[in-house]
Amino acid sequence: PAQAPVSPELSLVPAAAAPAQRPATIVFGSQTGNAQRVAEAFAQRCEAAGIPVRLLRADRYPTRELKEERLLYVIISTQGEGDPPDDSIAFFEFLSGARAPKLPELKFGVLGLGDSSYPLFCGIAEKIDQRLLALGAERILDAGLADLDIDTVAAPWQDKAFGFLETDHQAHAAATVPAAQSSNVTVLETQTRSTFTRDNPFQATVLQSQSITGRDSTRNIYHYELSLEGSGLKYQPGDALGVWPTQNAKLVEAVIQTLKLDPQETVTIQDKSHTLQAWLSHYRELTQLTKPFLVELAKRNNDAVLQTAVGPDGLSTLQELLKTHQVLDVLERFPATWSAAELVQALRPLAPRMYSIASSQSEVDEEVHLTVANVHYQFNEQDRWGVASDYLARLNEGDTVPVFIDPNTRFRLPEDSNRDVIMIGPGTGVAPFRAFVQERSVQGGEGRNWLFFGNPHFHSDFLYQTEWQRALQDGQLQHLDLAFSRDQENKVYVQHRLLEKAADVYAWIQGGAHIYVCGDANQMAKDVHQTLQEIARQEGGLDADQARRWLEELSAQGRYARDVY
Ligand code: 2AM
């Protein structure tokens, strides 16, 4: 059931009398807000039951208090190839480092959020779990490792964690006092709630679908305009749109044929019954392979590569398989006998795909715009697609698509519209900045806007070129720096442009500017991160350590935010 969000003024800790009994602490680390939502729901449940808890975002957690902590829950996501979320870098480094204290008095539980199509699934949660054990703390429940269908694992984990708190609270009820009132208790955003949610999506009508890259481009990027009319859905610039795709019918057919199964066979799993064809079309992942699926496959096929991949020393083999193969590819390469029910059981539930929204409602009202790269490649001379980008590209105007809003409270324009913003968004990473510039032009503040954009070629890949040019003319964009990587002999990237403008970039930041990065997580965002530190060293005379902390502090203040994937 939907619960009212905890208001920031409302202390989760009721005033009571001595003697001292520290309440439990829930620390969360969240990149896109999922871990935050899970942590908030947990805290609300405790509050409703009259159990005092302290809820803190990891970058607000005073690590020096760790040794006094009695009961700690950590709810944290893992990014991409095994990195902590931006708000948890310092917390994670502190815990991992030599300064972390021994914690013989501490009881703890860890819940990880992640994506099992990455080999280091929930890697950060696992490391924290192990590290707390190594520091002498007592693990009161096994680490929960939640995949994209978060609640499958998070709900039972929360039940257990809550059960422990309840028992603990009853045992100490007479002896509870409030925690030192922390000014750091996270400020939670109140969102107007529509009746449409992830599990009850709105059927949005496609108003426009258009390729915005040139015919000779190496990319195929689409601009979509969808109608939210009548949904009551509201979003902020920085939010994402969740899209529930349908699998490509040919792919579903190929999987079923490869396994010689009957598409019309009814499969029942946990009270849900569908035909095999319906299961595979709407409820199961086929394009993104996961390790748990390979583990099931390895029970049915003895191939050495497969056995290595799921074995203890197979990380690089596993990585390679997950990166290059879809479900159909491994079913073809490693033949095995599956029943329809076994197959459905082993495949991961289909998860919606999230796209950073490319429009602002103050400009487009009851519409939502997306910028989506069509994922399409060849594997063994066969066409392979990404599930949602292919699904979207096949839609016609007038078709409907199931959608919901996925708020990203960490990626927000400054509340003060007089602040400057620096936006770094190569490729489809430019999407939220189209929303930002739209929003800022309606806000009409004094703050300046600076956009860094990059893509392979000027003539085929300059996304929203005319809109940026108009924004420059109209004074809605003060600077536009472009990095067309393949228009000259040597690659030029957004971070090279940043460095060329180091003095101005640093002056903007020291003058209070907010910095935003959106796009590729594994290379671009890391290189930009390094370059920002280099700029601080070069322009501010900071040493390497100071530059690192400078950027961490900007992040903790919400002035350096990343939406990377
Ligand atoms: P490339 O593909 O020509 O190497 C959007 O994808 C743009 O980001 C492209 O121009 C791409 O260049 C560029 N890009 C690739 N790797 C990058 C990196 N490490 N940092 C910044 N931009 C990068």
* Res 512: pLDDT: 98
What is the spatial distance between Cα 113 and Cα 34, in angstroms, rounded to a whole number? Answer: 8
What is the spatial distance between Cα 40 and Cα 151, in angstroms, rounded to a whole number? Answer: 14
Half-sphere exposure of 115 (CA within 13 A, CB side): 18
CB of 25 within 8 A of CB of 72?
yes
CB of 55 within 8 A of CB of 83?
no
Cβ–ligand 1 contact at 522 (below 6 Å): no
Q: Which of 95, 77, 93, 96 is nearest to 85 (CA)?
A: 77
Contacts of 432 (CB under 8 A, 6+ apart): 237, 238, 356, 357, 358, 411, 425, 516, 518, 563
* Res 173: pLDDT: 66
Cβ burial 348-375 (10 Å sphere, 16+ → b, else e) = bebbbbbbbbbbbbebbeebbbbbbebe
Atom of ligand 1 nearest to the CA of 495: 21
What is the spatial distance between Cα 36 and Cα 313, in angstroms, rounded to a whole number? Answer: 34
Q: Kindly list the distances between the CA atom of residue 486 and the CA atoms of 360, 411, 490, 493, in Å, as whole numbers in the listed order.
A: 31, 30, 7, 9
If you search the block for the tokens 């080999």, which residue do you land on? 119
What is the spatial distance between Cα 428 and Cα 415, in angstroms, rounded to a whole number? Answer: 25
What is the spatial distance between Cα 242 and Cα 235, in angstroms, rounded to a whole number? Answer: 12
Cβ–ligand 1 contact at 272 (below 6 Å): no
CA of 493 relative to ligand 1 center, distance in Å: 6
Phi, psi (deg, nearest 5) at residue 295: -65, -45
CB of 162 within 8 A of CB of 38?
no
Within 10 A of 199 (CB to CB), how many other CB atoms are there?
9
Cβ–ligand 1 contact at 524 (below 6 Å): yes
What is the spatial distance between Cα 32 and Cα 34, in angstroms, rounded to a whole number? Answer: 6
Out of 520, 534, 562, 564, give the residue to mutate to test ligand 1, the one with the largest number of ligand atoms within 8 Å of its CB. Answer: 520
* Res 32: pLDDT: 86
The strands making up 421-424's β-sheet, listed across from edge to edge, are 479-484, 449-455, 421-424, 514-519, 560-564
Query: Looking at ligand 1, which residue's alpha carbon is closest to its atom 16?
Result: 524
pLDDT 10s per residue in the chain (565 long)?
444 444 433 344 444 443 457 899 999 999 988 999 999 999 999 999 999 999 999 999 999 889 999 999 999 999 988 999 999 999 999 999 988 999 999 999 999 999 999 988 999 999 999 999 999 999 999 999 999 989 999 999 999 999 999 999 888 765 544 444 443 334 344 444 678 999 999 999 999 999 999 999 999 999 999 999 999 999 999 999 999 999 999 999 999 999 999 999 999 999 999 999 999 999 999 999 999 999 999 999 999 999 999 999 999 999 999 999 999 999 999 999 999 999 999 999 999 999 999 999 999 999 999 999 999 989 889 889 999 999 999 999 999 999 999 999 889 999 999 999 999 999 999 999 999 999 999 999 999 999 999 999 999 999 999 999 999 999 999 999 999 999 999 999 999 999 999 999 999 999 999 999 999 998 999 999 999 999 999 999 999 999 999 999 999 999 999 999 8
Q: Identify the DSSP state of 494.
A: H
Query: Looking at ligand 1, which residue's alpha carbon is closest to its atom 6?
Result: 427
